[in-house]
Amino acid sequence: MTRWAFPLKWLLFSLSYLALAFLCLETRDSSSLSSAIWLPAGLTLGILCSSPLSRWPLWLVSAGTLHVLASYLHHRPMDITLVFAVTNLVILCLSAHVWLTLMKGRGIASNLSAMALFISIVLAASALGGMTILFALRMLAYPTVVSHFVSWSISNATGCLAMAPLFMVNQLVINKRVKSQNLLLITGILLITLALFLPDYDYQQNIPTVDFSLYLLFGLILLSLLFITERRLALLQVIIALIISITTIYNRGPFADSFYSDNNGITASQLYLLAIFISALLVRSGITDLYFLKRQSERQILLMSANFAEQKSYPFRINVTQQKVIWTDVLKMPDALPQAALMTPAQILGRMHPDDRTLFSPWFMGANKTSVRPFTQPVRLILSSSDFCKGHIALLSDHDNNANLYLNGVLTLYQGPLPEPVRQLT
């Protein structure tokens, strides 16, 4: 199965890229020489962000070839095709490289901050790409205006952000809704989208109704984030993007009305999609952070109850992936516990009794895990003095929102009569 995994992945990527490219080329605006949205950019960026650097050439050559092939079959001029294909690949490489560089070795505190950083990178790279295309087409003597730069930039940005839930947000099921209810909610939102963008009506005669409908659709999409998974969110965003872009190109819906001149309706539809995608990604990331925070609190309560309630306890977390120790409540730590000298698992193990060190080392290094019932064990530590201080440690494994392996723990230092298990250590 492993032997065929990568070729199958490449085949699925190629078929998906071609399908998305053909759909997006249907939204091509003859005046700006570009499609209203370019979803293959999001697919390529996701592949680059999740693949080792050694395989980037294969993905880039494949994406570039498929881009040229789809444009040729769609009767797009070859010089325009090459400008868009090369620029698109360059800014996607730049985005993926900057993103992976910033994430490497850096513990992003939350999914929300990571998503905000990702959105900023995509927007900046898309603006750079739009400016590059503008100057390149001017050098080729094509009639271009500055407004085309905005359209090209948003086209790439919306394509990247529409696909982002597939690889940027943790795949969590944080609700008890069944699949049929999720699909019913998605279907309802899509029906509202079709009802709003398919009719051909005079926008100026129905401004209050149309504006209310646009805000209603925006709000329903954000509300749906409480109930649908990330994969369904990506599917919903892709379908909505195609519906709005295609109907606007064919002069349907509120953004195609004569109220907009010089194809500003297309730009307005792009900005509407961009606002939806950015808001949805940030809200979903915030919901994911709240879920992880709730689960972490529940595990801390479970750990505290597994320890001795009458003794002083100090909760901590060990990032097994990065080998860092995070003390949860530093202000309440006693002088006998030098927090600055206990910042890595190796430092804690170095202060343990040799017998205890052998026992706890597999847990601190990630070899042993438990996620249901806490692992509890007496421990002897050298703190500020040269004598061993007796205590107790409870451990429970977990993962954070960036898929790092964590070990939640509670250290108890005994003050007064020692429990029976600790007396037996000596």
- Kindly report, residue by residue over 141-176, the tens digit of the pLDDT: 887 777 777 888 888 899 899 888 777 654 444 444
Average pLDDT over residues 264-284: 88
Average pLDDT over the chain reads 80
CA nearest 221: which of 140, 296, 159, 162?
Answer: 162
CA dist 228 → 189, 215, 377, 388 (Å) = 12, 20, 41, 52
Average pLDDT over residues 233-261: 82
pLDDT digits (tens, 9 = 90+) for 355-403: 888 888 888 888 888 766 778 888 888 876 677 778 888 888 877 655 6
Return all residues near 4 (Cβ < 8 A) that are at least 6 apart: none
**Distance in angstroms (rounded) separating the CA atoms of residues 14 and 61:** 11
The three-class DSSP label of residue 117 is: helix
Q: What is the largest CA-CA distance in the chain?
A: 88
**Contact (Cβ atoms closer than 8 angstroms) between residue 274 and residue 161:** yes
Return all residues near 365 (Cβ < 8 A) that are at least 6 apart: 320, 345
pLDDT digits (tens, 9 = 90+) for 310-365: 567 778 888 888 888 888 766 556 555 666 667 888 888 888 888 888 888 888 88
Q: Residue 418 carries which DSSP code?
A: P
Q: Residue 11 carries which DSSP code?
A: H
pLDDT digits (tens, 9 = 90+) for 60-117: 999 999 999 998 888 888 888 899 999 999 999 999 999 888 877 555 567 788 888 8
pTM of the model: 0.70
Q: Residue 156 carries which DSSP code?
A: H
Domains and CATH numbers, the chain: 2-293 (no CATH), 310-423 (3.30.450.20)
Question: What burial letters (b/e) apply to 37-61, b meaning 16+ CB within 10 Å?
Answer: bbbbbbbbbbbbbeeeeeeeeebbe
Per-residue tokens: 140: 């080729």
Q: Is the pLDDT of residue 57 over 80?
A: yes
**Distance in angstroms (rounded) separating the CA atoms of residues 275 and 281:** 10
Give the whole-number percent of the chain exceeding pLDDT 70: 79
The predicted pLDDT at position 79 comes to 87
**Contact (Cβ atoms closer than 8 angstroms) between residue 329 and residue 405:** no
The predicted pLDDT at position 426 comes to 37
Residue type at 94 in one-letter notation: L
**Contact (Cβ atoms closer than 8 angstroms) between residue 131 and residue 10:** no
Average pLDDT over residues 12-37: 81
Return all residues near 187 (Cβ < 8 A) that are at least 6 apart: none
Q: Residue 416 carries which DSSP code?
A: S
Q: Which helix (H) or strand (E) holds 199?
A: none
Q: Residue 337 carries which DSSP code?
A: S
